[in-house]
Chains A and B, each alone.
Chain A
Amino acid sequence: MGKSSKDKRDLYYRKAKEQGYRARSAFKLLQLDEQFRFLDNVTRVVDLCAAPGSWSQVLSRRLFEEDPENCDQKRIVAVDLQPMFPIDHVTTIQADITHPKTLSKIMDLFEGEKADFVCSDGAPDVTGLHDLDEYVQQQLILSALQLTTCLLREGGVFVAKIFRGRDIDMLYSQLGYLFERVVCAKPRSSRGTSLESFVVCLGYKPPTNWEPRLDVNMSVEDFFRGCDIGRLTIKDELPAYHEEPRSVAEFISCGGLGSFDSDATY
């Protein structure tokens, strides 16, 4: 998503500059963590759709600088379509996360170990076709989720950027199958006037009746075939139109009422 000139005057933009973050987005992750404390005690994390890298910076500071112990156990992998300037302690990959090959590359870097935390701040090119934009956004989340099911430890946390559009309740419902608790959280640093929010999925519970299996020839939808969240049926006939399950996630505004609201003009 392009930065408009508005961002330049934004309070969070200035704050990011002061604190050495590459983007104001850093505060979104910080405010989410303030609310959910999901970064306490994590050692291995994946940051998807990470460029220019401010989330990775937050993670690097948290995991390595603030707690310099057991560094050899710790790992941060960051992926984006765009190239990223190096960040200390972060392994970066330039790739498309919807490509199954990318996911296997990330898996390789973990050498069979599980991750504690997967996040994705991904936002596709906005075309202006709202339904397509929403679909592609949800596909980014599903791709991230695909990696999550292969890599996240039981009880781990998954956080992803969402745009609360027409079909967001379908996504909540799908995520509900895989996590203990699914919350829609809006950090104060995210504009109230934008539809951006974050889905915070706590307590990963891998499905018992389904074995995730990454295959470079399978799309995300193929991957989730057989899992409860999958839309694919084995039947050959395209099904008639039907409503798919929807549910509304709990809403939490985070960052505290005292913190600045990014819609405000100062």
Chain B
Amino acid sequence: MALRVEQLSHYGPSISVKFHGNYVFAGYGVYVQVYEVFSGKLLNECRVFQRNKVHGLSIKNDTVMVYGARSVSIVSVASLLSSRDQLGLEKLCPEWITSAEFSFDGKTVFLLTSYNKVLCCDLGLVVLKTRAVYGERSILYSGTITVRGTEKVQINAGTVMDGVLVWDLFSEQNMHHLTGHEGSIFYVTASKNGRYVASCSDDRSIKLWDLESGNLLSTGWGHSARIWNLQFFDNDSKLMSASEDCTCRVWNVCQSTCVLTQSESYEVHMSKSVWGLDVDSDRMIAVTSGNDGRIKLTDLKSRSRVGDEIQSFSLEDISAHGMSFSSKEIIKGFFWLRFGLVVITSEGSMIKYNDFNATWSPVFTNHKFRNFSVMTGVQKLNLVILANGVGDILIVKFSEDGSQILETLEAAVPELSKVTNCLVDSFKDDLFVILQSPNPKDHLHCFKINSRSLEVSAMYRFPRPHNFSANCMAYHNNYLLIGSKFSSLAVFSLTDDHQPPHLLNRLLPGDTITSLTFVEQLNDGKCLFSVTDRDGFYCFTAINMETGEAESVLQNRTSKRFLEGAFYDVNGDYITYGFKSNYFESYNETQQFEIMNELCGGSHRQWIFSPNYGSNEYVFAYVKASRLNIRKLHKPTFPQMLRNGIHGREMRDVSLHPGLYGKDQRLFCSGAEDTTIKLNSIEESGESRSVWTFRKHTSGLQRCKFVSNEFFISSAAREELYLWKISTNFVSNPYMKAIATLPTSAKLPDLRIMDFDVRFIEDSQDFVLVTIYSDSAIKLWYFDHKSEKFTLFASGTYETCCLLNAELLPLKDSLLLIVSPSDGHLAIWDITESLPLNVKNGKLQDSFSGVSTISALPPYFTRFLVHRAGVKFLQVKQTDDASCLLYTGGDDNAVAISELKMGKEEHSVTWKILSIDETAAASTVTAGSLIDNGNALLTASVDQRLKYYDIRENRLELKDVMYTTNADTGCLDATSTPDGTLLLVGGVGFSVWRLNSA
């Protein structure tokens, strides 16, 4: 049985990035990837090292020196652009290479090692000379080489205890010993102009030193975690820093006072650590890479690249265009149309701003709309709607360029003595305008207006539900969906406005529903809407508009943001926007990055966020300090992301959905130390994409798996366990929602649910769940899918250790529970007696009718010692109705196959170890999976090896060893496909493999 192994794709920490002309070179694991900046295209991926990760790149002319750990290689730009590998050039240095640079003339290279020594080599990496400062040979965390001339090379070395040593390469003399930081120095660099040295350390500060005198010039505080990288740019007038806090920041270096001041902060990466950083000073773009495997471009001129990104006007500025305003006149409302902005003032003056020629002009003045008025509009139709406090509305429809008024409509609702809100939506030729009074007894009044002629075609009076205050609305197929300030949603039928609406209560945890957006209509007629609330939650709800039945198929929380709205953009990415303290922020929720932020003062300001004509262009306008500010978001001139990664921290578990998604995609979920669960799609090529990032858990994930086509379960510390339901029948996206959770005992805040297992009741969606805990507790639950509730029916404990794996196994007429604790045993329970149902012929039967008392789990009836430390994975294969094979891997580096046989008498079992490999790995064996119809076992261990065993003979016959670049290798999942086995491996990063045992 020959095995063909192919790694299809991988995602993991990227430690270094570098601009070179129109390219970005990125160290990505053992590869160098080359991207074209403007198209964002990955031009080539070239493997440069066997096992070591690329930590740094240095480019001179057309040659690239790549280094990482003890490996170094000098390759041509051309070969990185075109070849699959350059492994033949990899050389090994005896010590870790901290930094490497070409000499001034490019004919030799300098390698600075972790013991503060420089190897001077020729381009064939023959060592010509070694240099060091006498007696300064302790270990370095960081260091850089500054080449200033043929005879002038400066070494900047960061020690663990003694600050920074700056020394001259050729004289081997110390120039400065810069002390002042606390702890290890994590980066140190010198400016090109020869004036400064900048360093950062464990103490989270940046220090700027005078190179000439060695004096400390300034200390920059701001990062909330350790700092990993520093780069001078823009002629050494600025400094950029990259940190563990996921941000990079720009600091101004004042040329006269030499003081560092922070000017910008960009949140560029997920969850933990930005490592790589480079700045293209000509184009003013930064590239960063991080622990999340993301390679991100950031526009350092996002407010001035095109020139009209930010505009600001006061009424006084506007009056220069030939208009006059009274001294107390202020801006009351505004709306962005296809030609620019329309504004209403407190004196009832409507004025407009033509964005193409930057001129303001008056439209008209209507005193009815003095003082209180609301302005809204429909950009698609180029019209605005004004409503005043007494029930008058005025609609003004403009020509394309705004120069003419095509139609106007003035109407009134005399029944309403007061109006506080006006909402609008349009569909094809119809425009719907709703007016709401502050009196809860008043009806909601709705005009249906022909959007071309502006003639009122119908008028509706909807009874207003109790405790309902309309805040947003959406029209669809003769129904109006209205979101209230009190977390409810009402569906009104236009065919009969006397009918009370269908009410959907408590759709989201927060209060005010801020937006409703139609997403798609399903075959069964249900409509899917995206709904947001002000507390930062969003959901997708499928609603049957006729009956008012609704099902939320997804619910999620954004991180620390108030949500005002959300929508799918042209690329199918879900975009959210809202406020984060004093900032307005727009965020790409699918890809998890911030699109823009604007310091506007907060949500109580008047503001609008609207598309700006073309696709993916937006305008955010707001009033602050009596000025009208317009911030435009043009379509970026370069991609915002070169590669998106996966989790920011270690992946703890991965699980493939059992079915196919679409024609050739699959879905999988991953749970990580960063507390998020991601639902991802993966293509045949191995490329994967995160679809949703769920923030439901509050602690790092422990386990997650799909237990059926429909259900997925995740567990974590704090006794968190959620049952999720996945929906794959929508066109827009797959959706997933936590529908049930377990009650907690709340005894110990840190109690972890280490593992669980599920057995379905025959012909039912109900199942039995076992959960095992870090305090040795075991609990058994029944899940009733109709009520979506778990009921505890039995509980017990093992000894006093942490439990690691659980498996439910029906054999004949009993149900066995196999648990692997951290003491190396496998412990077996017969839990048949504790079950509130029957087991027949290996199947769970009968429906469950509730329990009156929680039974105590009997003690385990047998246990046997297989490993010398915790059993990290357990896989079970049933061989016949009375026996099974157990595959285990442990913290003791071993992998074993044991056999368990049930005897004739009750609780009589025999077991034996059939095969054990005591040195299966050099470190903990963390995961294993049976593949190839149970003929093979695949294991993963922390030494970054994957092993493939043939187990047909019940022996561990090692067939192949694969090396993965994902450190802390901790989980895997595999499935059979027509092309062999598709394998996902997770750890720090994640990789996709195809195995073929043809």
CA separation between A246 and B943, bound complex, in Å? 12
**B162–A236 touching, CB < 8 Å:** no
Take A166-B944, A237-B127, A238-B72 as given contacts and tell me if A232 and B94 are in contact as well, using a CB distance cutoff of 8 Å. yes
CA separation between A35 and B226, bound complex, in Å? 39
**B868–A252 touching, CB < 8 Å:** yes
CA separation between A184 and B868, bound complex, in Å? 12
Smallest Cβ distance from B51 to chain A, in angstroms?
A: 8
Q: Is A130 an interface residue (CB 8 A)?
A: yes
The residues in A between 129 and 143 inclusive whose CB is less than 8 angstroms from any CB of B are: 129-132, 135-136, 139, 143
Please tell me which stretch of B319-327, B458-466, B747-755 contacts chain A, meaning at least 4 of its Cβ atoms lie within 8 angstroms of it: B747-755
Q: Is B976 an interface residue (CB 8 A)?
A: no
| Chain B residues with CB below 8 A from A87, complex form | none
Please name the residue on chain B nearest to A128 by beta carbon: B273
Q: Which of B53, B91, B115, B943 contacts A238 (CB 8 A)?
A: B91
**B138–A99 touching, CB < 8 Å:** yes
Please name the residue on chain A nearest to B15 by beta carbon: A129
| Chain B residues with CB below 8 A from A132, complex form | 55, 69, 96, 141
CA separation between A257 and B272, bound complex, in Å? 37
CA separation between A264 and B772, bound complex, in Å? 12
Q: Which of B159, B184, B801, B944 contacts A264 (CB 8 A)?
A: B801
| Chain B residues with CB below 8 A from A101, complex form | 135
Q: Is B186 an interface residue (CB 8 A)?
A: yes
Please tell me which stretch of A14-22, A149-157, A212-220 contacts chain B, meaning at least 4 of its Cβ atoms lie within 8 angstroms of it: A212-220
CA separation between A220 and B183, bound complex, in Å? 22
Q: Which of A100, A222, A264 contacts B774 (CB 8 A)?
A: A264
Take A131-B967, A265-B748 as given contacts and tell me if A125 and B922 are in contact as well, using a CB distance cutoff of 8 Å. no
| Chain B residues with CB below 8 A from A233, complex form | 94
| Chain B residues with CB below 8 A from A91, complex form | none
| Chain B residues with CB below 8 A from A168, complex form | 922-923, 943
Smallest Cβ distance from B718 to chain A, in angstroms?
A: 10
User: How many inter-chain contacts with C-beta < 8 Å in the A-B complex?
Assistant: 198
Q: Is B13 an interface residue (CB 8 A)?
A: yes
Q: Which of B119, B186, B800 contacts A261 (CB 8 A)?
A: B800
Smallest Cβ distance from A146 to chain B, in angstroms?
A: 12
CA separation between A98 and B967, bound complex, in Å? 26
Q: Is B139 an interface residue (CB 8 A)?
A: yes
| Chain A residues with CB below 8 A from B117, complex form | 219
Please name the residue on chain B nearest to A241 by beta carbon: B90
**B160–A195 touching, CB < 8 Å:** no
Please name the residue on chain A nearest to B825 by beta carbon: A257
The residues in A between 164 and 186 inclusive whose CB is less than 8 angstroms from any CB of B are: 164-166, 168-169, 172, 184, 186
Please name the residue on chain A nearest to B228 by beta carbon: A127
Q: Is A245 an interface residue (CB 8 A)?
A: no
CA separation between A254 and B483, bound complex, in Å? 62
**B923–A263 touching, CB < 8 Å:** no
Smallest Cβ distance from A236 to chain B, in angstroms?
A: 5
**B127–A139 touching, CB < 8 Å:** no
Q: Is B284 an interface residue (CB 8 A)?
A: no
| Chain B residues with CB below 8 A from A169, complex form | 922, 943
Q: Is B893 an interface residue (CB 8 A)?
A: yes
| Chain B residues with CB below 8 A from A165, complex form | 923, 942-944, 967
| Chain A residues with CB below 8 A from B968, complex form | 130, 195
**B92–A239 touching, CB < 8 Å:** yes
Q: Which of B68, B114, B161, B822 contacts A139 (CB 8 A)?
A: B114
Smallest Cβ distance from B188 to chain A, in angstroms?
A: 15
CA separation between A169 and B139, bound complex, in Å? 22
Q: Is A9 an interface residue (CB 8 A)?
A: yes
**B943–A266 touching, CB < 8 Å:** no
Please name the residue on chain A nearest to B870 by beta carbon: A192
Q: Is B247 an interface residue (CB 8 A)?
A: no
| Chain A residues with CB below 8 A from B748, complex form | 9, 265-266
Smallest Cβ distance from A80 to chain B, in angstroms?
A: 10
Q: Is B892 an interface residue (CB 8 A)?
A: yes
Q: Which of B91, B92, B202, B919 contacts A248 (CB 8 A)?
A: B919
Q: Is A221 an interface residue (CB 8 A)?
A: yes
**A219–B95 touching, CB < 8 Å:** yes
| Chain B residues with CB below 8 A from A125, complex form | 141, 160, 183-184, 202
**A238–B93 touching, CB < 8 Å:** yes
Take A6-B750, A236-B126 as given contacts and tell me if A263 and B91 are in contact as well, using a CB distance cutoff of 8 Å. no
**A100–B923 touching, CB < 8 Å:** no
CA separation between A50 and B918, bound complex, in Å? 33
Q: What is the 8 Å Cβ interface bit string for chain B, positions 722-747, against chain A (1 contact, 0 not)?
A: 00000000000000000000000000
CA separation between A240 and B90, bound complex, in Å? 6
Q: What is the 8 Å Cβ interface bit string for chain B, positions 861-884, against chain A (1 contact, 0 not)?
A: 000000011100000000000000
Take A130-B967, A246-B922, A248-B919 as given contacts and tell me if A253 and B892 are in contact as well, using a CB distance cutoff of 8 Å. yes
Please name the residue on chain B nearest to A169 by beta carbon: B922
Q: Which of A129, A195, A238 contacts B125 (CB 8 A)?
A: A238
Please name the residue on chain B nearest to A101 by beta carbon: B135
CA separation between A251 and B894, bound complex, in Å? 9
**A164–B923 touching, CB < 8 Å:** yes
Please name the residue on chain A nearest to B941 by beta carbon: A164
| Chain A residues with CB below 8 A from B202, complex form | 125
CA separation between A233 and B924, bound complex, in Å? 33
Q: Which of B91, B184, B752, B891 contacts A192 (CB 8 A)?
A: B891
**A139–B139 touching, CB < 8 Å:** yes
Take A169-B922, A263-B822 as given contacts and tell me if A251 and B160 are in contact as well, using a CB distance cutoff of 8 Å. no
Q: Is B275 an interface residue (CB 8 A)?
A: yes
Q: What is the 8 Å Cβ interface bit string for chain A, positions 91-134, against chain B (1 contact, 0 not)?
A: 00001101111000000000000000000000011011111100
| Chain A residues with CB below 8 A from B43, complex form | none
Q: What is the 8 Å Cβ interface bit string for chain B, positions 528-555, against chain A (1 contact, 0 not)?
A: 0000000000000000000000000000
| Chain A residues with CB below 8 A from B91, complex form | 238-241
CA separation between A184 and B924, bound complex, in Å? 12
CA separation between A164 and B944, bound complex, in Å? 11
Q: Is B137 an interface residue (CB 8 A)?
A: yes
| Chain A residues with CB below 8 A from B160, complex form | 81, 96, 98, 124-125
| Chain B residues with CB below 8 A from A238, complex form | 72, 91-93, 119, 121, 125-127
The residues in B between 924 and 974 inclusive whose CB is less than 8 angstroms from any CB of A are: 924, 942-944, 967-968
17 other contacts beyond A127-B228, A240-B88, with CB at 8 A cut-off? A95-B161, A96-B138, A100-B137, A130-B968, A135-B114, A136-B141, A165-B923, A165-B944, A169-B922, A219-B113, A219-B117, A237-B124, A239-B92, A251-B892, A253-B891, A265-B775, A266-B775
A-B contact pairs, 18 of them (CB 8 A): A95-B161, A96-B160, A125-B141, A125-B160, A125-B184, A164-B943, A165-B923, A221-B115, A233-B94, A236-B126, A238-B125, A240-B92, A241-B49, A248-B893, A260-B800, A263-B822, A265-B751, A265-B802
Spell out B's residues near A (CB within 8 Å).
13, 15, 49-53, 55, 68-69, 71-72, 87-88, 90-96, 113-117, 119, 121, 124-128, 132, 134-135, 137-139, 141, 159-162, 183-184, 186, 202, 226, 228, 244, 272-273, 275, 291, 748-752, 773-776, 800-802, 822-824, 868-870, 891-894, 918-919, 921-924, 942-944, 967-968, 988
> Lowest 6 A-B CB distances belong to which pairs?
A219-B115, A130-B967, A164-B923, A169-B922, A99-B138, A263-B802
